[in-house]
Amino acid sequence: MQKSRLIEILHTFSKKELRELKKWLASPFHNQRKDVIELIDYLSKNLHREVLLNKEKIFKFLYPSEPFDDSKMRQVVHFTMKALENYLAYISFLEKGDTQELYLAREYRKRNLSRQFEKSIKAIEVTQSSPKFQDDFFLYQKYELQAERYKFYNKSAKRTQTFNLQEIGDSFDLYLIASKLKQACTMLSHQVVYKTEYKYTFLQEILDHIEKNRALLELPAIGTYFFIYQTIVEPDNIQHFNNLKNQLDYSHNTLPINEMRNIYTSAINYCSKKINSGKSDFIKEAWELIKKGIENKILFDDGILNRFIFRNFIAIGITLKYFKEAEEAIHKYGQFLAKEYQENYINLSLAKLFFAKKDYDKAMQLVNQYEFKDILDNLSAKTMLLKMYYELSEFQTLESLLESMRAYLQRKKQLGSRINGYKNIVRYTKKLIKVNPYNKEQVAKLRKEIEEATPLTEKAWLLKQLDDL
């Protein structure tokens, strides 16, 4: 049973969730089978003991006096899965407090309990007047509220009564516009990465409508994604990016954290593309965005800071020569990396910082002290060491390092095409050591080779060393 759906789901449960699940199953309203409770109890205690997770042993625990019966075993697993899925649906429902109130109002309507219906509707309106978030789901709830109102009044109203049909149409339009823009941004981003074509039905009509009704941009769920869309389709218009930055400040506390994380990622990716195209002004823009995203915990996921965001943040700080801020960030935010990455990423980041400050003693100490687990991190550290040995004229040590790197690359076939970049670094560093600085033809020939070599991430450094010969 180790690979069963039941085991897979239970592996995602925390200890608290397992306790709550057992309480749920203990209620006759949710479950009336004793063997379901016993199965969950057995599995929760033995989830990480694979030897005890085979069907025969579990069956013997559940029905000690009976011979193994595969159909009976499948039956108890079926009922347990059903109870478990009902529990998951229930806790998901509880997370949406406003949804509960709306379902309650709907039930009152169906039972013709007008006084209770009105009370529930007013409670929802109070909540919606100062919402926690103003995302597309909030707009959908506003539409649902108007729809419930209409169904109630349509059933009980006189012919002369005014209905809320305009409110229903308006609220649905806002939800539709917000959802369509959000989905279009997702599709466009995917299209760029995976070279896939999508159809965008009604999107142009929605964009035209927004242009004619700019007040819609004041709604975070619309304004934010409108500006993201513009940065994607018109990346050369910097004003779109500036509008998005302003919108980020405006939307900061009005959209859910996971949504804000995606929005910040879109803005950071825009900066990355600009940096890669040679627009160095966006290095500082990226630094400010990531800094704000980290400080406000927007770029955290369940309390964990993504290691690549951390690495890029420190690298940008070093590029900008914000050495003090970068070092503070390493110590302050490195502790929020996943435990298995903390030591590697903190030490490698510090080594890169000391290297940039020309504090080679500290940088070398860190690089030589740790064997970085990730292959690319290890190669990055060795490349840094290579540059330090060269700049310190420790050529004998450098040649030994180059040979060890060559052998290391020979073993790491899993690098694929990326291996060629590091092979070129080794190859041209060897040539740099051997070139006669007084032979202009040799120097010119090597310069041409380096300039034309691809991939070669350290091209600028190699050319600078040639200039300094």
Q: What's the CATH number where 328 sits?
A: 1.25.40
Same domain, 438 and 455: yes
Same domain, 315 and 430: no
Same domain, 196 and 121: yes
Domain stop point among 189, 218, 249:
249
Q: Is residue 29 scored above 80 in pLDDT?
A: yes
Q: Is residue 308 scored above 80 in pLDDT?
A: yes
Count of domains forming the chain: 4
Asked whether 352 and 315 are in contact (CB, 8 A), the reply is yes
Tell me, yes or no, whether 467 lies in a domain: yes
Question: Which residues span the domain enclosing 363?
Answer: 256-373
Domain stop point among 373, 393, 418:
373
Same domain, 116 and 225: yes
Q: Cα separation of 204 and 210, whole Å? A: 10
Higher pLDDT, 334 or 100: 334
Q: Is residue 137 scored above 90 in pLDDT?
A: yes
Tell me, yes or no, whether 243 lies in a domain: yes
Tell me, yes or no, whether 101 lies in a domain: no
Same domain, 464 and 406: yes
| Side-chain half-sphere CA neighbours of 393 within 13 A | 2
User: What is the pLDDT confidence band of residue 424, given thresholds at 50, 70 and 90?
Assistant: very high
Same domain, 230 and 121: yes
Judged by average pLDDT, the poorest of 17-31, 346-360, 404-418 is 404-418
Same domain, 368 and 306: yes
Same domain, 393 and 434: yes
pTM value is 0.82
Q: Read off the pLDDT of residues 246-281 as tens digits, 9 standing for 90 and up.
A: 999 888 889 999 999 999 999 999 999 999 888 999
Same domain, 171 and 234: yes
Cβ contacts of 191 within 8 Å, gap of 6 or more = 197, 198
User: What is the pLDDT confidence band of residue 369, given thresholds at 50, 70 and 90?
Assistant: confident
Q: Is residue 208 scored above 90 in pLDDT?
A: yes
Give me the pLDDT at residue 4, please: 87
Q: Cα separation of 289 and 305, whole Å? A: 15
Tell me, yes or no, whether 265 lies in a domain: yes
Tell me, yes or no, whether 22 lies in a domain: yes
Same domain, 397 and 450: yes
Tell me, yes or no, whether 322 lies in a domain: yes
Region class of 457: left (phi > 0), else alpha (psi between -120 and 50), else beta: alpha
Give me the pLDDT at residue 306, please: 93
Give me the pLDDT at residue 44, please: 92
Sequence-ordered alpha helix ranges (H) in 50-113 = 55-62, 70-95, 97-110
Cα of first residue to Cα of last residue in the chain, in angstroms, is: 67
Tell me, yes or no, whether 100 lies in a domain: no
Same domain, 308 and 195: no
Tell me, yes or no, whether 102 lies in a domain: no
Give me the pLDDT at residue 159, please: 52
Give me the pLDDT at residue 158, please: 53
Domain stop point among 228, 249, 270:
249
Same domain, 238 and 264: no
